[in-house]
Amino acid sequence: MSITTEAMAAWCRTLLGADPAAAKLTLEQYVAAAPRLKSLADVPSGTPVLVRGDVDAKPGKEIGEGDIRLRSMKDTLEFGRGRGWIQIIFGHIGREPEKSLDKVAKRIGQILGCEVAFVEDWLDPETNTVKDNVAEIVKAAAPASVIVLQNTRKYDIERVLWKAKPADVDDLAEPLARLANSMAERVAKVYVSEAFSTNNLDASACVIPAAMDRVALGDYVASQFDGPLKDCLKTQMVIFSGLKIDKLNNLESMIGRGTIRRVLAAGSVAMALKKAAAQLGGGDFHLGQSEDPANKDEPYYIPPERIEQAKKMLTEAKAKGIEFTMPVDFVLEDGQISDVVGPGNQQFDVGPKSSKVYAEAVTQFIAEQKDATEPAVVFHNGVFGMFEDERFETGTKTFVPELKRMTDAGMKVYVGGGEGGKALERYGREDWVTCSFTAGGTVLKALGGKQIPYLVALNMKANE
C-alpha cells in the first residue's frame, strides 16, 4: 500500500505531536490497539516480512554475553520461521553511522541455529530507494530464510525526524514517502515491530509502517508493555540517578502519576534536589563544577532553571506526603570523601554515610509495606556514581543487594535497563529482581508520560 507525499506529511505531523485532530491516547490505549504477532498467523509461507529488530547489541564470545536484546527477539523470529516467512531484520547499532551489524547477524544465526545472510549496502542515499540487489536477494531467498540489513543509521534519512519541527514536514515528506514506498515495493509489505529499545523517531521504526499492508507488535515488546511496564505505572518507591539532569523531567512526570510515596535520589538528579532543598530551607548547597557556567556544554552541568524545577517538585511532593532520601556525603574526583562538594570540585559517587541512609530508607519502606494487600512496586533506574571506574563504584555496588532485599520481602522490583542493568549484572544476579528491562530510554519515556513513537505509528496504520 503506497503512501502519497501528502499522507506522509500528515503521518509525520502526528508523530511530532503537531496534529491537533490526532487522538492523544494513554500508553495503555496505544498498547491495547497495537495488532499482535498472532494476527499475522495467516501470512503464507515464502512471504517477505520486515522485522524492525532490537539489534543494538555487542555480542560477546558466547551466546548469553552482550546479546540479551537479540535473544529477546527469538520467539518472534521462530514464529516467522515456523510459518516459512522470509524475515528481513533491520535496525541500528549505536549512534555512529559507521558501526556495523555484521557480528550481530552472526549471533542471530547462532541463536536461531541457521544461516543468516548479511547485506552491507542496501539503500541509495541519493534517491532514498532500496537498491536492486536487495530485491533480488529477497526474491531468491528460500522460505524460513533470515536476512539482516546493515545499520540503518548509515543513511541520513533514518535520522531526519530526530530534530525536525512541524515546519520541516513538507520538505521531508517526499523523501520519506519514497523510502517507505521503496521498502514496500522491493523488500516487504508486512512489518513486525520487535525493537523495545527504539524510542527515537527513527524512520525504520516510525515511517516504514506507513507503506505496509499489515503491521504487528512482536511478542517480546508486547510482553514488556503488557506486564512489567504496566506494573511500573503503579510504582510506590523509585530509586533515581544518572548523569543527565533532564532525567528530572522523567521523575517529575512519574511523581505526577500519584502512586509514588518514596524517592531515593543520587547523581545529577540528587544534586539539583539537594540544592533546591537547601535553598527552600533558607541556606544553600554548592554543586561545584556542576553549577559552573563555564561547564554549560558538559553533560553534568545543572542550570539554574533546573534548581527552580526541583524546588517546585519538592514543594508539591511535601504536600502529597512523598519522602525524599538524598545523599549526605560524596566521593570527589580525587577520591576524598566529603559532606560537601564545594567550588571547583565534582562528585563521582555517594559516600558511605549515604549508603547507610539509603539502606535505612529501604528498611523503613519494607516495614511500611508489611501489611499491604498487594506487593509494593519498586523502580530502580541509573547508578550512583561513575561505577565503570572501581574508585567510584562503591555506592552502586553497595546498593545493588538492597534490590534483592526488597525482592525477598515480597516486592516487585524493576530495573530500568541501561547502566542500572549493567550494575545488576556486575554486582548481583538477574533473579535478584522481578525484571531488568532491556531498554532504559523506552521505559523512562513510558513512565514519564511521553509517547512511544513506534506505538503511535502502529496505531495510525491499524486505524487506516
We report the CATH number of the domain holding residue 393 as 3.40.50.1260
Instruction: Give the pLDDT score at 1.
Output: 67
Q: Which pLDDT band holds residue 36 (cuts at 50, 70, 90)?
A: very high
The residue with greater pLDDT, 61 or 420, is: 61
327 part of a folded domain: yes
- Per-residue model confidence (pLDDT) at position 52: 98
Q: Is the domain of 87 the same as that of 186?
A: yes
Say whether both 285 and 161 belong to one domain. no
| Cell (9 digits) for 100 | 556495523
Contact 379, 414 (CB under 8 A): yes
Of 322, 325, 313, 324, nearest in space to 258 by CA: 322
pLDDT confidence of residue 449 = 79
Is residue 207 domain-shared with residue 350, that is, in the same domain? Answer: no
320 lies in some domain: yes
Question: Band of the pLDDT at 197, cuts 50, 70, 90?
Answer: confident
Give 257-294 as a DSSP string: TS---EEEE-HHHHHHHHHHHHHHTT-----GGGG-GG
Beta bridge partners of 330: 338, 350
Q: Are residues 168 and 104 in the same domain?
A: yes
Task: Tell me, yes or no, whether 445 lies in a domain.
Answer: no
Residue 403 and residue 277 share a domain:
yes
Q: Indicate if 94 and 163 belong to the same structural domain.
A: yes
Highest mean predicted confidence (pLDDT) among 130-144, 411-425, 436-450: 130-144
Under a CB-based contact definition with an 8 Å cutoff, are residues 100 and 150 in contact? yes
Residue 40 included in any domain: yes
What was the pLDDT predicted at 385? 87
Mean pLDDT throughout 445-458? 88
Q: Note whether 212 and 97 are same-domain residues.
A: yes
Tell me how far CA of residue 60 lies from CA of 11, 196, 419, in angstroms: 39, 21, 18
Answer whether residue 40 shows pLDDT above 90. Answer: yes
**Contact 424/432 with Cβ under 8 angstroms?**
yes
What's the gap between Cα 285 and its chain centre?
Answer: 32
- Is 359 part of any domain? yes
Residue-level pLDDT at 448: 79
Specify the pLDDT at position 420: 84
219 touches 79 (CB < 8 A): yes
Q: Are residues 63 and 190 in the same domain?
A: yes
Residues 113 and 234 in one domain: no
Report the largest interatomic distance among the alpha carbons of the chain, rounded to a whole angstrom.
73
Would the pLDDT of 165 be above 80?
A: yes
- In this prediction, residues 242-261 reach a mean pLDDT of 85
Segment 118-164, tens digit of pLDDT: 999 999 999 999 999 999 999 999 999 999 999 999 999 999 999 99
Which structural domain range is residue 248 located in?
A: 228-433
Q: For residue range 258-279, what is the model confidence (pLDDT) as tens digits?
A: 899 999 999 889 999 999 999 9
Q: What is the mean pLDDT of the chain?
A: 93
CA atoms within 13 A on the CB side of 247: 30
Q: Which residue type sits at 104?
A: V
Residue 305 pLDDT more than 70?
A: yes
* Range ranked top by mean pLDDT from 63-72, 80-89, 301-310: 80-89
User: Do 373 and 416 lie in a common domain?
Assistant: yes
203 burial type by CB count under 10 A (0-12 exposed, 13-18 middle, 19+ buried): buried
- Express as a percent the part of the chain with pLDDT over 70: 100
pLDDT digits (tens, 9 = 90+) for 360-406: 999 999 999 888 889 999 999 888 988 888 898 999 999 999 999 99
Residue range 420-434, pLDDT digits in tens:
888 888 898 989 999
Phi, psi (degrees; rounded to nearest 5) at 371? -105, 15
Q: Are 204 and 271 contained in the same domain?
A: no
- Residue 438 belongs to some domain of the structure: no
What pLDDT is recorded for position 444?
A: 81
The grid coordinates of residue 368 equal 511500611
Q: Three-class SS of residue 68?
A: helix
% of the chain at pLDDT higher than 90: 75
Q: Are residues 143 and 255 in the same domain?
A: no
Question: Does some domain include residue 402?
Answer: yes
In the chain, the number of structural domains is 2
**Strand ordering across the sheet containing 412-415:** 323-325, 262-265, 237-240, 377-381, 412-415, 435-436
